[in-house]
Amino acid sequence: MFDFEALSSQIVEELTSLIDKHVIVTDKNGFIIASTDANRLNSYHEGAAISMRNQQEFHLTTEMSNQLRGVRPGIVMPIIVSGTPIGVLGITGKPTEVEKYAKLVRKVVELFITDSISREEKERGIREIEFFFFDLVTTNSPKEVIEDRARMINIDSSLYRRVAVIQTYQQLEVTDVEGLLKIQTIHPELKIIRWGMEKLVLLMPDIKKEKMIEGLNSLSIKIQKKIRQKLPIGIGNFNSFEHLKESFSQAETALLVSERQEKIVFEEDLKLELLYYSIREEVQEEFLKRTIEPLLKEDELMLSLETWLQRKNSLQDVADELHIHKNTLIYRLNKIQAILKLNLNDMNDLVIVYTAIRLYRKK
């Protein structure tokens, strides 16, 4: 609901920067709700009441100010928005002087109010979508209930099939979301939702992967101008609208991988990472303890082992990459096997070590 009284002080403040006159704003009943003269607040202005009742501009002479309650010389005129009078604007001074710009001032006020109402409606729309999405992913409502509620806030549930999550590292304001919606090139019906203090959730219409990546990269660059750091982006799989909570959960998993890989990550492309991020933290810690923990403080040996696992084509190539002699590499690999009590030529041991390192590096 539009709060005219809350906005009236802003109106007076704006007008005093434009004209060198005392200004009042009254409600529909003629009571002053904002004024450049604080002593007039909450007092009754009979001239404003007459102007409101007749819905006409009313010139107040010195004689009238002596006859009407709470009146000073000047002009009062109804503020009309979308055909409805919502209050009265008053400007103090000689009517013949004030009338030169009175109509222009009223037009400025009405445009100011119209713009404020429009902003409020947009903000309310964004917040309604945020509340709706929160319920969508945290409750288990029937499909019919979800679709009915979506229609109430003008969401076409047939459009949205997957979710993307962007890590923003700081909370964005509603005005930021409005700005992003205006400049985004992903899809005209894209919905952007603030999630928690440091994330944006995007309800994605069904579009081609290449166009999605292009649009997300462009949007990310624009956000980075405010955040000033690279933003991880994770994307969930396709799903029906009522099951978008699953796509959201997948997008959050992909987001964790995106933080490590510094690129947009689709959950559908995850392989080993899918297992790593589904394992409970305490199980991961225990697995590392039983495998490569003795090696974690040996930076030189860890580097040699990881390089060997990555290349593993020839000892000489690995030694060259590490800038060491081949015999030094052999010595290090033997030392690693002794410390970990395993055989790097045994496929089972090799898989265990590789998995442990991948798991450790994702942390």
| 255 three-class SS | helix
pLDDT the model gives residue 2: 62
pLDDT at 312 over 80: no
Sign (positive or negative) of CA dihedral 182, 264, 129, 126: negative
Max Cα–Cα distance, the chain, nearest Å: 109
pLDDT the model gives residue 313: 67
What value does the mean pLDDT of the chain take?
Answer: 90
pLDDT band at 27 (very low <50, low <70, confident <90, very high): very high
Task: Output phi, psi for 220, to 5 deg.
Answer: -60, -40
CB 46 within 8 A of CB 58: no
Round to whole Å and give the CA distance between 101 and 23: 13
pLDDT the model gives residue 123: 84
The neighbouring-strand residues paired with 80 are 85
Which among 352, 309, 301 has a CA at the least distance from the CA of 329?
A: 301
Which among 66, 84, 61 has a CA at the least distance from the CA of 76?
A: 61
Torsion of CA 28, 30, 32, 37, to 10 degrees: 140
pLDDT the model gives residue 90: 92
Q: Mean pLDDT over residues 235-263, rounded? A: 91
| Greater model confidence, 18 or 231 | 231
pLDDT in tens, 41-59: 999 999 999 999 999 999 9
* Domain parsing of the chain, residue ranges: 4-116, 145-276, 281-361
pLDDT at 174 over 60: yes
pLDDT band at 301 (very low <50, low <70, confident <90, very high): very high
pLDDT the model gives residue 17: 78
pLDDT band at 61 (very low <50, low <70, confident <90, very high): very high
In this structure, how many other beta carbons lie within 10 angstroms of the beta carbon of residue 3?
9
pLDDT the model gives residue 276: 76
Round to whole Å and give the CA distance between 319 and 304: 9
pLDDT at 1 over 60: no
> Which range among 151-155, 229-233, 358-362 shows the weakest confidence by mean pLDDT?
358-362
pLDDT at 163 over 70: yes
Q: Which CATH architecture has domain 281-361?
A: Orthogonal Bundle (1.10)
Round to whole Å and give the CA distance between 36 and 265: 56
pLDDT the model gives residue 72: 93
pLDDT at 184 over 60: yes
> Which range among 104-108, 138-142, 200-204 shows the weakest confidence by mean pLDDT?
104-108
pLDDT at 333 over 90: yes
Amino acid at 219: L
Round to whole Å and give the CA distance between 287 and 1: 57
Homologous superfamily, domain 145-276:
Reverse transcriptase/Diguanylate cyclase domain (3.30.70.270)
| Greater model confidence, 281 or 180 | 180
Round to whole Å and give the CA distance between 100 and 79: 18
In degrees, to the nearest 5, what angle opens at C-alpha 277 toward C-alphas 195 and 142? 50
pLDDT the model gives residue 107: 85
pLDDT band at 363 (very low <50, low <70, confident <90, very high): low
Q: Mean pLDDT over residues 127-151, rounded? A: 91
CATH number of 4-116: 3.30.450.40
pLDDT the model gives residue 275: 75
Round to whole Å and give the CA distance between 292 and 348: 15
CB 236 within 8 A of CB 249: yes
Residues 6+ apart with CB under 8 A from 106: 77, 79, 89
CB 163 within 8 A of CB 248: yes
Sheet with 191-195, edge to edge strand ranges: 191-195, 199-205, 160-167, 233-235, 265-266
- Kindly report whether the global pTM for this prediction surpasses the value 0.85: no
pLDDT in tens, 199-247: 999 999 989 999 999 999 999 999 998 888 889 999 999 999 999 999 9
